[in-house]
A and B are shown apart, each in its own frame.
Chain A
Amino acid sequence: MAAAEAVRLRPGPGAAAPLQAQLLPCRVQHDGPAPVAAFLRVQLGPGGELWASFRGRRMGGRDLPLPHGYRGVLLQEGDPPHGDEGRCVTVTGTFDAIRDWGADGVPPPGGVALALQWGDIAQAIHAPVPESDKEAEP
């Protein structure tokens, strides 16, 4: 039987410009190309905030940077190289921020913005502990 179930991660065609990753406050029942720039015309509000309308509904946007040292990738499942049994996913694009859209206004506190803080917390939980016996109290 083939080696243990695993999915390899392979590099894609190569460094293209980073993509814009936008998370909508609604479901779109489609997978594939779409004229995003035509659907979503973004305007800047007086205070520099982002506005757009989609399906007749106003949305407020906020750009969220990724945690320090993180990169965003788009993965697509591809055919494994000939002769190979295992599955693989390929990096087909990158992004370095997430534009979070909220219905009727800027997304409320929490959500993706809070989730992105997980990077820092995970870093602390999983970092090696200090060698010294003195358990430095926080």
Chain B
Amino acid sequence: MHGAKQRPAAAHPGQWVLIAPEAATDFPESPDSEPLFTKLRNPSTGEATLYLFNSGAQQLFEVKAFHEENRSWFIGQTVQQDGRLLFVTPMDPLFLLLYYLIKADKEQQGKFQPLDQVVLDSDYPNCPLLLKCADVKQYIHHITEVKEIGSQKFHKYSQEKTLKWLKKKVNQTVKALKSNNITVGERVYAATFISSKQITDTEEDYVRYAHGLISEYIPEDLSKELLKYLGLPELKSPAAEPPLKKRKLSDGPVEAEEDYTKFNSSNLKTKKANSKMSAAQKALAKVDKTGMKSISAFFSSKPKASK
């Protein structure tokens, strides 16, 4: 028996099925700089969300869960009740820095500061690890004005540069949506999204969809500014609401004849009530067709009798 640990005596240790880019799970030679799952401030909701730093915190990843009701895994010769698939994907650390840069800009009246004085958070003690990410050093100038004094760099948030950067992000996202043949228009109900994609998706549909996806990574104010910057009027009509509301949680697996936008699984886990969703989150709920949700807890299993 091992020494007393807090972990409850489970019949089977917690197990999770996860896919990730190879870079995320490559292991270092020394045991000191192993990949690390940690919570950081979600750039859109402000809530604690799970991320992964790879070995040496060179790269950042986000951890999402794909979850359809009533599914379980067979892995090799074992069964796992919990049918979730954890999906680790690259995360641009600049999205996470925005909150701190914007805050510093407001509080310090536009003073230039070194990053390590700005990226501090008593709620998230690991956030300074963000500054180790290779992409931060190389690309921070896309979102800040930079002054170099001697060997030290000083930064100040620039909304103008950030909007330009975000527009480039939107463009590269649109390219990926097109090349992946993702149907984006609200009015298109594709029975088979794989074959013969309906040619009703306009350029505006793509840009809006991409804007929706990117809004998940930026504060709401910035999302609204970006919409203006892209030259898109705000959509007032709740045209897309009905399909989601009508969707019922069925016990059976997905039916073929239903609208495939149902894969946005908003109610499957106990999440914060809908009323707490920002406009950006609601916008995302309309566009996110993958049913992928951020995770806020470390590898929690479904509540069991023992705790």
Contact = CB atoms under 8 A, between A and B. Distances in A.
Interface in B104-148: 124-126, 135, 138-139, 142
A111 B68 contact: yes
Contact of B81 (A20, A31, A37, A119): A31
Interface residues of B, number: 96
B134 to A, nearest CB: 10
A30 B79 contact: yes
Interface string B1-23: 01101010001111111111110
A76 B13 contact: yes
Given A24-B74, A124-B175, A135-B171, A110 B263 contact: yes
A12 B133 CA distance: 26
A130 B175 CA distance: 14
Nearest to A10: B34
Interface string A54-91: 00000000000011011111111111001000010101
Interface in A29-48: 29-37, 39-40
Interface residues of A, number: 79
B233 interface: no
A26 B72 contact: yes
A138 interface: yes
Nearest to B139: A128
Contacts of B289: 110, 114
A73 B165 CA distance: 34
A138 B205 CA distance: 13
Contacts of B13: 76-78
A39 to B, nearest CB: 8
Interface stretch (B176-184, B239-247, B273-281): B176-184
Given A9-B35, A31-B79, A124-B172, A23 B193 contact: no
A10 B214 CA distance: 32
Contacts of B298: 5, 7, 87
B92 A117 contact: no
Contacts of A7: 36-38, 298-299
Contact of A124 (B20, B173, B260, B263): B173
A125 B74 contact: no
B193 A110 contact: yes
A110 B17 CA distance: 20
Contacts of B87: 115, 118-119
Interface of A: 3-11, 19-37, 39-40, 66-67, 69-79, 82, 87, 89, 91-93, 95, 98, 102-103, 107-112, 114-115, 117-130, 135-138
Given A4-B124, A71-B20, A109-B194, 18 more contacts: A6-B37, A23-B73, A25-B70, A69-B22, A76-B14, A78-B13, A91-B25, A95-B75, A108-B260, A109-B193, A111-B68, A114-B289, A114-B290, A120-B180, A121-B176, A126-B92, A129-B139, A129-B169
